[in-house]
Amino acid sequence: MNILEGLNKEQKEAVSHINGPCLVLAGAGSGKTKVLTMRIANLINHGIYSGNILAITFTNKAAKEMRERVNKVVTQNYAFVGTFHSFGLKIIRENYERLGLTRNFTIVDSDDVTSIIKKILKDLDYDYKMYSPGFIKNKISFIKNEMLSDGEVEKYLASPPEQVAVKVYFEYQKVLKRNNAVDFDDLLKLPVELFLKDEKVLNQYQERYQYILVDEYQDTNEVQYKMIKKLAEKYRNLFVVGDINQSIYGFRWSNYRNILNFEKDYPEALSITLNQNYRSTNTILNAANSVIKNNTESKEVKLFSELGEGVKVKYMRSYDEKHEVTLIIEEIKKLLNEGYKYQDIAILYRTNAQSRTIEEGMLKANFPYKVVGSYYFYKRKEIKDLLSYLRLISNYKDDVSLLRIINVPKRGIGNKSIEELEKIAKENNTCLFEVLNKPKEIEFKNLILELIELSKSVDLTELIDLILEKTKLKEELENDKSLESELRIENLMEFKSITENYQKETGTVNLEDFLEDISLVADVSEHNENDNVITLMTMHSAKGLEFRAVFLAGMEENIMPHSMSMQEKEELEEERRLCYVAITRAKERLYITNAKRRMLFGNTNMNAPSRFIGEIDDSLIEKASIMIDKEQNAFNKDEHYNKEGTNYHHGEIVYHMSFGKGVVVDSDDKFVTIAFEKRFGVKKFLNNYSGLKRENK
Enumerate the active-site residues: 32-33, 215-216, 246, 585
Measured CA to CA in angstroms, residue 515 lies from 406, 407, 451, 504, 672 at distances of 20, 22, 16, 16, 49
| 3-state SS, residue 3 | coil
How many Cβ atoms sit within 10 Å of the Cβ of residue 163? 12
DSSP-derived letter for residue 157 is: -
From CA 345, how far away is CA 333, in angstroms rounded? 11
Contact 601, 356 (CB under 8 A): no
- Determine which helix (DSSP H) or strand (DSSP E) holds 370, and give its type and residue range: strand 369-371
- φ and ψ of 221, to 5 deg: -105, -170
From CA 73, how far away is CA 41, in angstroms rounded? 7
| 3-state SS, residue 664 | strand
Contact 431, 179 (CB under 8 A): yes
Contact 188, 178 (CB under 8 A): no
Contact 47, 21 (CB under 8 A): no
What length is written for the chain? 697
From CA 175, how far away is CA 431, in angstroms rounded? 10
Q: Pairing state of beta strands 671-675 and 238-242?
A: unpaired
CA 476 centroid distance within chain = 35
Please compute, for residue 638, the number of CA atoms within 13 A of its CA located in the half-sphere on the CB side: 1
DSSP-derived letter for residue 311 is: P
Which residues in 130-289 belong to E strands, given as ranges?
Answer: 181-182, 211-214, 238-242, 270-274, 276-277
DSSP-derived letter for residue 358 is: H
Please compute, for residue 267, the number of CA atoms within 13 A of its CA located in the half-sphere on the CB side: 0
How many Cβ atoms sit within 10 Å of the Cβ of residue 600? 18
From CA 214, how far away is CA 217, in angstroms rounded? 6
- φ and ψ of 363, to 5 deg: -65, -45
Q: Pairing state of beta strands 313-318 and 345-349?
A: unpaired
Q: What angle do CA 231, 236, 241 make, to 5 degrees?
A: 85
From CA 113, how far away is CA 172, in angstroms rounded? 9
Contact 47, 74 (CB under 8 A): no
Tell me which long-range contacts 190-196 makes (C-beta under 8 A, separation of at least 24): 190/88, 190/91, 190/92, 190/99, 191/87, 191/88, 191/91, 191/92, 191/227, 192/147, 192/223, 192/226, 192/227, 192/230, 193/147, 194/91, 194/95, 194/98, 194/99, 195/227, 195/230, 195/231, 196/230
From CA 514, how far away is CA 512, in angstroms rounded? 5
How many Cβ atoms sit within 10 Å of the Cβ of residue 551? 29
- φ and ψ of 457, to 5 deg: -125, 10
Q: 307: burial class by Cβ within 10 Å (0-12, 13-18, 19+)?
A: middle
The distance in angstroms from the start CA to the end CA of the chain is 78
